[in-house]
Amino acid sequence: MSGRAAPFYCPYCGDEDLRPSEEGTAKGKGAAWECAACNRAFALSFLGLLAGGLPSAHTEGGDPS
């Protein structure tokens, strides 16, 4: 098992019939996937964490009491 996360659906057609691509990708360029439904290939990569993170529900104008 590889250390990469698998996508749940194709970003183009929404189908779930995805397979890891046979084509090798350069290190740091993301994992390549192929969609059997729309015959497209795409790559996913992790960009990093946000500096401030996501705001919590308490800071979005909620009742402070």
For residue 63, is it within any domain?
Answer: no
Predicted structure pTM score:
0.57
Number of domains in the chain: 1
pLDDT for the residue numbered 4: 62
Q: Residue 12 domain-assigned?
A: yes
Domain-located, residue 10: yes
- Amino acid in position 27: K
Dump pLDDT digits (tens) for 47-61.
788 887 667 666 555
| Any domain includes 59 | no
Domain presence at residue 39? yes
pLDDT at 30: 66
Tell me the per-residue pLDDT of 6-23, one tens digit each, with 9 for 90 and over: 889 999 999 999 999 877
Structure confidence at residue 43 (pLDDT): 87
In percent, how much of the chain has pLDDT > 90? 32
Domain of residue 10 covers 1-47
Q: How far apart (Å, rounded) are the C-alpha atoms in residues 56 and 22?
A: 41
Q: How many beta carbons lie within 10 A of that of residue 45, not counting itself?
A: 10
